[in-house]
Amino acid sequence: MSNSTKYPPMNRTELARKYKVSIPTFNKWLGLIPELVLIENQRIFTPKQVEIITTHLGEPPD
């Protein structure tokens, strides 16, 4: 994947579905990403945050 790939804003449910895991599991994964800065009660991840998550976890399975 090139660095020019644009990531759309997404919420936790959308991303958890893409990675085929439950919300609690996805939340645990997010807690292991030190460079991911989250605002309390944030509902939508910014494109930059989605990029950080995808970089750390790898591309979601098809």
Q: In the 8-state DSSP scheme, what is residue 49? A: H
pTM of the complete model: 0.85
Question: How far is Cα 10 from Cα 17, in angstroms, rounded to an integer?
Answer: 11
pLDDT digits (tens, 9 = 90+) for 4-46: 568 999 999 999 999 999 999 999 999 999 999 998 888 899 9
Domain residue limits, the chain = 10-57
Q: Please give the Cα distance from 7 to 28 (Å, whole number).
A: 22
Is the confidence at residue 56, as pLDDT, over 70?
Answer: yes
Our separate counts of H helices and E strands in the chain read 3, 2
Strands (E), the chain: 10-11, 44-45
